[in-house]
Chain A
Amino acid sequence: MELRNEMQRAYCCIAQIGNLVLLLLWHILHFIVSIFYFVLGIARVAESYFISSGFLKKYKSLNLGKLRCLAIVIESEEAYQTLQVIELLQWLGAIGVKSVCLYDKEGVMKKSKQAILGKLNNAVIFEESGENDKLVDHNHMMLEFASFSDGKEAVTKAANLLFMKYLKLNKLAGDQEGQIFTEPHMAEALKAIGCKGADPDLLLVYGPARCHLGFAVWRIRYTEIVHMGPLKSMRYGSLIKAIYKFTMVRQNYGK
């Protein structure tokens, strides 16, 4: 009996030591993982620094021919950080981006339009650039401000235009829905209500959520979408890297 108790006690001790060893191994494993992610984070910061400083040759000269329109989507809470928005636009200007659409769901940046434009030397608002927006001076950046009303709401308004056209034609010539409700007609109707912006080639999302937050649904068929993280953590190097990666993409548009 005593021998049995002794053996059980010994076994319990071994079991406890074993558990402690396993716990220690678990902690070590987590420590290794933490170190790995820490090093990765440092590497990203370092890469961003080297890109910004021009040490990495491939990022030095970007071929922006493919980037005709860049969209920036910012969480509405972060859009209140006007100074950071301005800094971001200044970076884009320095890189050579000529057409930028700024979007936040609640239209915070729309309301801060004048404050933003006041700090930028060479920006013009998209609506004020006139019909020939393609001929905008190369020294200027064209800025478009968008919000939720330019997304689903705009499509609804455009649809209403088409409805009225359809009802009118229906009275005159019978069933015409096949001729009225087409994608090109919807695109024309959107232009008619003032949504003339081009489809962005690249959309950068600043904020915690990895979604486009309701950006103009009609315009993002083939838009490359990149999540950049919170606006407060934005880095020039990351911006250049995102644009560089975009310039290397080859789309076949489903064909």
Chain B
Amino acid sequence: MFVSLQFRLPPTVTSTPPLKLLPPNAHVPSLSSMSVRHVRRLRLPRLSLRATPQLVVVEDDEERGANGRPHRDGASTEERNLLPPGLRRETMPVHVAVIMDGNRRWAQIRGLPASSGYEAGVRSLRSVVELCCKLGISVLTVFAFSTENWCRPKVEIEFLMDLFGRAVREDLESFLRENIRISVIGNTSKLPNSLQQLIANVEETTKKNFGLQLIVAVSYSGQYDIVQACQRIAMKVKDGVVALDDVNESLIERELETNCTQFPYPDLLIRTSGELRISNFLLWQLAYTELFFSKSLWPDFGEIEFLEALQDFQRRQRRYCGRSLN
């Protein structure tokens, strides 16, 4: 939708600058002619395309520099050029959470077994992880398996456990290369022993990586997270480390499983497949998280859909001065 066009003039004796026409969303198209008498500067309004269509609001131009480009604090030209059009570095979410829903439906629509849907889901996850690395997002938390999912058929659960182990083994090299840190949250005691060991190894191997932190919620329940935090605090109270009177919300927050990251509160939650609920995911942490419900099924959720979610988030951030709890 955003078009970048450039029309260069040949070099002249007077060495006038070339004419450029750039998309209004990222740059101000400006006309500069070859001589003073032809100079005419046009300031174009900026329009936003919204995920939920409303009457378009024409936003005022931001303060712009002499070259017509908007001021960006601390961002080099190279950094600006790395971002897709329509996205801003300064309002990029620090922590994105994703409920990866719709794998089985995706397979069902195509007449494939559920396992194909899950495998396609893993490919989507890889793609989103790569995007997060490119866009400089610090934390990505994905809801891979909930406590309620244990009620699914045994064959399906075994396949999922196997798929999880395979994916981790296959991608370990890539995690190390891309400096990705892996953390797993949830009640992992219910997982097969081999998978528990693998998780422990991967967490240990990648703990010093300082790039994207990928938090995978497996056998996770938001209510369980709160309860286990209380249990940990109870042990500390019993051991005299913490006084009962000192127990408050901050203490509970520090004991939640998301304490594995510096940024435990997601700025943006994306749920795919069109469902409009959070399904017992990060109940405590999502109080002020912007919610984006995408109609795409998870295996179909790719770069375009992810960028749409980010653009929608940034529009809301820009207009409503969203608070950050990180």
A153 touches B320 (CB 8 A): no
Known: A181-B227, A217-B284. A225 touches B278 (CB 8 A): yes
B56 within 8 A of A: yes
A98 at the interface (CB under 8 A from B): no
A163 near B38: Cβ-Cβ < 8 Å: no
CB <8 Å contact, A218 and B223: yes
Task: Note all chain A residues with C-beta closer than 8 A to B275.
Answer: 249
Q: Complex: how many Å from CA A16 to CA B38?
A: 10
Contact assessment for A19 and B286 in the assembled complex, using a CB-CB cutoff below 8 Å: no
Q: For the complex, would chain B's binding face be called helix, strand, loop or mixed by DSSP majority?
A: loop
Cα(A160)–Cα(B252), bound, Å:
11
Contact with A along B24-50 (1 / 0, CB 8 A): 100001010110001000101101011
Flag whether B67 is at the interface (Cβ < 8 A).
no
Indicate if the CB atoms of B47 and A30 lie closer than 8 Å.
Answer: yes
Pick the contact of B149 from A29, A33, A38, A254 — CB < 8 Å?
Answer: A254
Instruction: List the B side residues contacting A249 at CB < 8 Å.
Output: 275-276
Min CB distance, A11 to chain B, in Å?
Answer: 6
A30-B226 Cα distance, complex, nearest whole Å: 48
Q: Do residues A156 and B249 form an inter-chain contact, with CB atoms below 8 A?
A: yes
Q: Answer whether residue A122 sits at the interface, using C-beta atoms and an 8 A cutoff.
A: no
**A40-B312 Cα distance, complex, nearest whole Å:** 18
Q: Give the interface residue-count category, chain A.
A: 35 or more
Assess A15 versus B7: contact at CB under 8 Å? Given A183-B223, A208-B320, A254-B148: yes
Q: Which residues of A contact B284 (CB under 8 A)?
A: 152, 155, 217
Residues on B lying within 8 angstroms of A by beta carbon are: 3, 5, 7-10, 12-13, 19, 21, 24, 29, 31, 33-34, 38, 42, 44-45, 47, 49-50, 53-56, 146-149, 151-152, 221-224, 226-228, 230-231, 233-235, 237-238, 244, 247-249, 252, 275-280, 283-284, 286-292, 316, 319-320, 322
| Given A23-B42, A159-B233, A163-B234, 20 new contacts (CB under 8 A) | A11-B9, A11-B10, A12-B34, A23-B31, A27-B44, A159-B252, A163-B230, A164-B244, A181-B227, A181-B228, A186-B227, A211-B287, A214-B287, A218-B226, A224-B276, A225-B291, A254-B146, A254-B149, A255-B148, A255-B152
Chain A residues proximal to chain B, CB less than 8 Å: 5, 8, 11-12, 15-16, 18-19, 22-23, 26-27, 29-30, 33-34, 36-38, 40-41, 151-153, 155-156, 159-160, 162-164, 166-167, 170, 177, 180-183, 186, 208-215, 217-218, 220-227, 249, 251, 253-255
